[in-house]
Amino acid sequence: MRDTISFQEVKDLAQEFYKTMIKGTVDIERKIIALGGEYHVDSNMALVEAGSLQANVWGFNIHPNEGADNWIEYVSLINIRPLAGNKSMEVKDETLRRKMAEIINSKIVR
């Protein structure tokens, strides 16, 4: 595992499946991210296998061609967690979104 990834590497990884977007997951307790794969479950499993608890892992998409204020999309099937108060694919809780963005932005060096 690496501590950070360059913005160019993220753009290059995006080419693998979606070209203008890359899927990822973030462990909000361990403050780590995983990127890539065809589905969020791919990076989700990488974090869980590395010791993350599923309850702490949330999905997102990065759109590298968007501006810094709009490049993170908080949408993933793994985010549907009615017992955690999130009933949709989109993370609705602003505090959680801010925490996710802080970690993601600290790991992707622009």
Query: Are the C-beta atoms of residues 33 and 86 closer than 8 Å to each other?
Result: no
Digit-coded pLDDT (tens) for 92-106:
999 999 999 999 999
- Any idea what the Cα angle at residue 69 is, between residues 67 and 70, rounded to 5°? 70
SS3 89: coil
Whose CA is closest to 35, among 56, 10, 54, 6?
Answer: 10
Express as a percent the part of the chain with pLDDT over 90.
95
Whose CA is closest to 60, among 31, 33, 95?
Answer: 33
Give the predicted TM-score (pTM) of the model. 0.95
Digit-coded pLDDT (tens) for 36-63:
999 999 999 999 999 999 999 999 999 9
**Sequence ranges of the domains in the chain:** 5-109
